[in-house]
Amino acid sequence: MEILIISGLSGSGKSQAASYLEDIGYYTVDNLPAEMMVKFAEFCVASGGHYDKVALVYDIRAGEPFTVLVETLDRIRAIGVTCRMLFLEASTSVIVNRYKETRRIHPLAGNGQSIEKCIQQEREMLSPIRDHADFIIDSTSFSTAKLRSELLNLFGAQGDHVGLHVNVLSFGFKHGIPIEADLVFDVRFMPNPFYVAELKRKTGLDKDVRDFVFSFQQTHDFMDQLEKMVSFLLPLYGEEGKSVLVIGIGCTGGHHRSVAVAHELSEYIARSGYQVTENHRDISR
């Protein structure tokens, strides 16, 4: 079992980090006092593997001496749990801008001091925690996508591309291009089963329609090129921090060619180790 404690400066991206970790299988809990972490760790151990990856957010809101957290790390490790700490920080000017954009109040602003003073005070208070961190991320120049990518590199499973979910969507151009599509491929150049009487009322999920579409060399040539392009692009989208990629495959009506090709592409992407969802928007129209 693994517990990852997320701490750091207010406005440095702790909540976003927790959300991204949740996407890759962590069970997350926000604002948990250090004393409760030990009890929670014991509960997770007793759960029999239901909570094998946990991320706990700990910050200034806990209202307790931060040396308590350092002691808590040792207590959790003593019960046989892998416990690591991620510390996030950013420059003062960037944190100030983030607070201005969100119009939130800094946790230490209650005494009327400036936000710059609050940030400096928090840095000093969190210094003992930072010194014990296993990972330190400075999010000063990070976009949200870059932060997500960095977390995936540090904590994502090796070799299974858990950070990127691909949705392969077939559609008919006469019903409009899906607005959610990131990539669109037009397969209307392929011979159309609609004009074959025994195939007209069937769809690309039927074997005889699929066999018809893939009986032409141009279909196989297209799939070879499409698979090469997808193999090239998916890792790059993952590195950029994209969580969902929608690939649209379109034919005239969305019943035959696009469905057969989308199904074939979905299976290829799944074999490549990515999470994939296959949808056929216009198949019943």
pLDDT value, residue 158? 56
- Are 269 and 156 in contact by the 8 Å Cβ rule? The answer is no
> 275-280 and 183-186 as β-strands: parallel, antiparallel, unpaired?
unpaired
37-51, 80-94, 177-191, 267-281, range with the lowest pLDDT: 37-51
CB 85 within 8 A of CB 129: yes
Contacts of 257 (CB under 8 A, 6+ apart): 187, 188, 190, 192, 193, 204, 213, 251
Q: Rounded to whole angstroms, what are the CA distances from 15 to 6, 113, 147, 158, 171?
A: 9, 24, 12, 24, 37
Query: What average pLDDT does the segment 212-223 reach?
Result: 97
Distance, C-alpha 232 to centroid of its chain:
19
Domain ranges for the chain, please list them. 2-155, 165-280
pLDDT score recorded for residue 239: 75
pLDDT score of 72 more than 80: yes
Give percent above pLDDT 70 in the chain: 97
Q: Quick one: average pLDDT of 144-169?
A: 77
Instruction: List pLDDT tens digits, range 230-267.
Output: 999 998 888 777 888 999 999 999 999 999 999 999 99
| pLDDT, tens digit (0-9, with 9 covering 90-100), for 125-135 | 899 889 999 99
Nearest to 7 by CA among 50, 57, 65: 57
Residues 85-105 pLDDT 10s: 999 999 999 999 988 888 788
For the domain made up of 2-155, give the CATH fold.
Rossmann fold (3.40.50)
Find the range with the poorest average confidence among 3-7, 15-19, 22-26, 110-114.
110-114
